[in-house]
Structure 1
Amino acid sequence: MVFWEGYISDELMGTFAPIVVYWLYAGVYQLLPSLDQYRLHTRKEEEQKNLVPLPSVIKGVLLQQLVQATVAGLMFLATAKPTSTGSITQPPLLVQLIQIVVAMFLMDTWQYFIHRYMHQNKFLYRHIHSQHHRLVVPYAIGALYNHPLEGLLLDTFGGAISFLISGMTARTSVFFFCFAVIKTVDDHCGLWLPGNIFHVLFQNNTAYHDIHHQLQGTKYNYSQPFFSIWDRLLGTYMPFSLVNRQEGGFEARILKKTT
């Protein structure tokens, strides 16, 4: 039993809930007070280094989410299994949890190799992926600010593949996609807040991804959004330390380049 049962379908929820969650969670970060003592970059750095204004970022994210919702709707339509009762029997909770973990690894694998290739192919980086790196200093609302083609290939297709191969139901996908969205937003929030559960559970976190947005780290730390396995296995992991900045806040400082 879920709170939306009897009101809207699992497929509709799976299509639009991640979008709503994105704006709610990113909006909370955007509305927080300055919190300069927890920032990974100063506000001055954000203003000077970022190459795109907030209104353009919002438009870019909305465009990606329009494509995302369209693909999700078609995917759910194609995979729907009509039943005589109108409802699908959900697998046991343990099975659903296993499916979510499998989907996490599948999404990480897809995004690592597509993401890495977009950096290594000069044409793709210059004309597509560089749009995301216009946010040299990441912030929450810009987590899904990408070129539309990248949004389709990297995020939308990655989510669809994870859903289809893991075998999860539309209802399970609601929780998986919302979780993936929250994790992605958190990785781009630019804050190292005390007690953040993602920083405790995942080595791939806000500071980890901040390294990737730095000039020296742009060809490292490709893994997203959950684990750092592929970076470590394939030599693209960039070790770093989190240090206190003299003017307040923190800095994710590169230690050395991997080979």
Structure 2
Amino acid sequence: MVFWEGYVSDEFMGTFAPIVVYWLYAGTYQLLPPLDNFRLHTRTEENEKNLVPLGSVIKGVLLQQLVQALVAELLFLVTSNVSSGHTVQPYFPVQVVQFIIAMFVMDTWQYFVHRYMHQNKFLYKHIHSQHHRLIIPYAIGALYNHPLEGLLLDTFGGALSFLISGMTARTAVFFFCFAVIKTVDDHCGLWLPGNIFHLFFHNNTAYHDIHHQLQGTKFNYSQPFFPIWDIMLGTYIPYQLVKRAEGGFEARLKKD
């Protein structure tokens, strides 16, 4: 039993709940006080280095979410059990396994597509470089991508995770909302004390910040959950957090 049962379908929630969660979570970060003591970059750096205004970022994210919603509706339409009108939820341990499988599938898809977009000069110049116009990432810009990248990297990755894991539309609501929150957190630019993601995921805000700062190098492609493929394939680069004298932290490469 979930709170939306009897009001809207699981398929509707699976399509639109991640979008709502994105703007609520990212918007909360955006509306927080400056929190300069926890920032990985100063606001001056953010204003000087980023190559795209906030308004364009918001429009780009909304465009990507429109495409995601259309694909999600099509996906749920094709996979929903129309004849029974109701899908029986598997036992909770089965859903946990489906979650883990979906995380691995999404990580695998995004790692190799993301890596190829960096290694292929044409794709980087004309597609992936749009995401890297945010040299200093912030929460609302987590899904700021070229529309084709949004389709290939995020939308197709999510669809594959859903299909291969075998999860129901109801389970997918929770999985996609979780993935969205994790993605936003990785781009928020803040190292907040007690952040649960920093306790359980090495692939975190600082990990992805290193990737954005080293745009000319080939490291830390993994997203959004685990750094497994970076470690296995030699694209992982270690870092350390250093407290800045003027406040906040800085993610620096570890010296041998």
Task: Give the TM-score normalised by structure 1.
Answer: 0.97
Residue 216 to residue 72, structure 1, CA distance change in 2 (3 Å):
closer
Residue matched to 2:186 = 187
SS of the residue corresponding to residue 143 of structure 1 reads helix
Shift of 1:218: 4.3
2:18 equivalent to 1:18: yes
Shift of 1:215: 2.7
Residue matched to 2:166 = 167
Q: 1:129-208, aligned counterparts within 5 Å?
A: 129-208=128-207
SS of the residue corresponding to residue 241 of structure 1 reads strand
CA distance in 2 between partners of 1:215 and 1:61 (Å)? 23
User: One-letter code of the match for 2:197?
Assistant: F
2:126 equivalent to 1:127: yes
2:51 equivalent to 1:46: no
2:120 equivalent to 1:94: no
1:144-166: CA deviation from partner (whole Å, max 9, x where unpaired): 00000000000000000000000
SS of the residue corresponding to residue 213 of structure 1 reads helix
CA distance in 1 between partners of 2:21 and 2:215 (Å)? 32
Are 1:211 and 1:218, in contact at CA under 8 Å, matched by a contact in 2?
no
CA distance in 1 between partners of 2:216 and 2:15 (Å)? 34
CA distance in 1 between partners of 2:216 and 2:207 (Å)? 10
2:216 equivalent to 1:214: no
Q: 1:70-81, aligned counterparts within 5 Å?
A: 70-81=70-81
CA distance in 2 between partners of 1:256 and 1:211 (Å)? 14
User: One-letter code of the match for 1:231?
Assistant: D
What percentage of aligned pairs have identical amino acids?
80
Residue matched to 2:59 = 59
Shift of 1:246: 1.6
Q: 1:98-109, aligned counterparts within 5 Å?
A: 98-109=97-108
Give ranges in structure 2 of 5+ residues lacking alignment: none
Residue matched to 1:240 = 239
1:25-80: CA deviation from partner (whole Å, max 9, x where unpaired): 00000000000000000000000000000000000000000000000000000101
User: One-letter code of the match for 1:42?
Assistant: T
Structure 1 moving runs of 4+ over 6 Å: none
Task: Give the TM-score normalised by structure 2.
Answer: 0.98
- Aligned pairs, number: 256
User: One-letter code of the match for 1:225?
Assistant: P
CA distance in 2 between partners of 1:212 and 1:225 (Å)? 13
Are 1:211 and 1:217, in contact at CA under 8 Å, matched by a contact in 2?
no
SS of the residue corresponding to residue 55 of structure 2 reads helix
Residue matched to 2:5 = 5
CA distance in 1 between partners of 2:61 and 2:255 (Å)? 34
Shift of 1:83: 3.8
Residue matched to 1:28 = 28
1:152-194: CA deviation from partner (whole Å, max 9, x where unpaired): 0000000000000000000000000000000000000000000
Stretch of structure 1 that moved more, 212-221 or 132-141: 212-221
2:116 equivalent to 1:117: yes
Are 1:217 and 1:238, in contact at CA under 8 Å, matched by a contact in 2?
no
CA distance in 2 between partners of 1:177 and 1:61 (Å)? 16
